[in-house]
Amino acid sequence: MLGTFTYDNPTRIHFGENSLQALNQELPNFGDTVLLVYGGGSIKKSGLYDKVVEILKANGKTIVEDAGVMSNPTSDKLNEGVARARAGKADFILAVGGGSVIDYAKAVSVSIHCEEDPWEKYFERMEDVDCEIVPVGSVLTMVGTGSEMNGGSVITNHDKKLKIGHVFGSNVFPKFSILDPIYTYTLPKYQMVAGFFDIMSHLLEQYFSGTDDNTSDYVIEGLLRSLIHSARIAVENPKDYEARSNIMWTATWALNTFTHMGKPGDWMVHMLGQAVGAYTDATHGMTLAAVSLPYYKHILKEGLPKFKRYAINVWNVDPAGKSDEEIALEGLAEMEKYMKEIGVVMNLTDLGTTPEMIEGIADATFILDSGYKKLTRDEVVDVLKASL
């Protein structure tokens, strides 16, 4: 049975080729001083930076630059960005980049007018925003996180060895996001497939929970089938517009709160992956890939009917003459084959994790109880060891 919910997603999406021109429509709705947030330089290489600056100038905006947002953005960088935005009196934030850039822009947006330490308030204490929020718009260049249409913001604190996500309310969602698949063509293959697995993981985190008959589970199965199909094509030919555009839109729907309505989610793969990220700074999607199969095998018995359904409806496993467990395991075996085929990282060792780090990573793992099984700390250690 669907739970009770309010569905509110205020992000306007401008999708498709040349959708960057929609910036001209959007900019007049927002302030005159724009904090232009971007990463380590990919947008300069691709030429996107020049196009964005040209449009900002044509719309009479003053630009305050905030470059160098790293993957897995840090609390130190957040403090630096807040100081820059305050000094420049930014009243609008334009994030041009991947999930890291957009997550960071959201964190800055709720911190400019906040008098407390943002890391402590939003990420350690998980408090709500009680100050003015500077609006954010985004131009997406890396597909995966769904940050373009949600309130998620994940920040890493290296001193404390913690990577924590705060899911803000709809007042922090980007006001608009521009999604042109062509701007994702320049992504290195490693990042591209990491993003593909991130999408898959978002869908699975929501799928592997609950025992009821739920609309979202059917939608998720459809999104997974579309993703698996298109990802295979994109790996062969990264410039296949049909595949890249389908994946871009799937990624947005995979984590724009829609399929989460009325049902719980598991999210332990993300908790494990984030803890690994806090220790290794590894690419988000790859951390998820490395822990997923050991984790799912660990909880398979508790969630058996759903793992069986996953095998049949997503991986086309023929159930005839097999036990439920055999069917479920065959589904995971198909998933493993697919992961290897698209080229994700299959273990934590390849991401720089050492056996000595396991206890610390286990301490940094937030244990949730909304999936099929609440892990003990010892089980977290077991899953991490099995992922090495």
State the nearest-atom distance from the C-beta of 40 to ligand NZQ, in Å.
3
Name the residue nearer to ligand NZQ (CB basis): 26 or 198. Answer: 198
State the nearest-atom distance from the C-beta of 151 to Zn ion, in Å.
14
Residue 9 contact partner, candidates Zn ion, ligand NZQ, none, CB within 5 to 8 A by sort of partner? none
The three-point CA angle 310-315-317 to 5° equals 90
The verdict on 198 binding Zn ion (CB under 5 A) reads yes
Hey, which residues between 38 and 77 contact ligand NZQ (CB under 6 A)? 39-43, 46, 71-72
Cα–Cα distance, 123 to 114 (Å, whole number): 14
Cα–Cα distance, 246 to 239 (Å, whole number): 12
Q: Which of 75, 111, 138, 145 binds ligand NZQ (CB under 6 A)?
A: 145
Using CB under 5 A as the binding criterion, the count of chain residues that bind Zn ion stands at: 1
User: How distant, in Å, are the alpha carbons of 270, 343, 379 from that of 197?
Assistant: 12, 10, 24
Name the residue nearer to ligand NZQ (CB basis): 286 or 317. Answer: 286
State the nearest-atom distance from the C-beta of 270 to Zn ion, in Å.
6
User: 189: which 2 tokens?
Assistant: 């293959």
User: How distant, in Å, are the alpha carbons of 69, 280, 283, 325 from that of 314?
Assistant: 36, 32, 26, 16
Q: Which of 280, 270, 281, 324 is nearest to 301 (CA)?
A: 324
The verdict on 234 binding ligand NZQ (CB under 6 A) reads no
Q: Which of 85, 108, 139, 187 binds ligand NZQ (CB under 6 A)?
A: 187
The verdict on 142 binding ligand NZQ (CB under 6 A) reads yes
SS3 assignment, position 13 = strand
The verdict on 144 binding ligand NZQ (CB under 6 A) reads yes
**Contact between 177 and 251 (Cβ < 8 Å):** no
Name the residue nearer to ligand NZQ (CB basis): 195 or 331. Answer: 195
Q: Which of 285, 290, 326 is nearest to 308 (CA)?
A: 326
Q: Which positions from 245 to 264 touch ligand NZQ by CB under 6 A, shown as an x/- string?
A: ----------x---------
**Contact between 24 and 58 (Cβ < 8 Å):** yes
**Contact between 348 and 384 (Cβ < 8 Å):** yes
| Binding site residues, ligand NZQ, CB under 6 A | 39-43, 46, 71-72, 97-101, 103, 141-142, 144-147, 150, 152-154, 165, 183-184, 186-187, 191, 195, 198, 255, 270, 284-285
| Binding site residues, Zn ion, CB under 5 A | 198
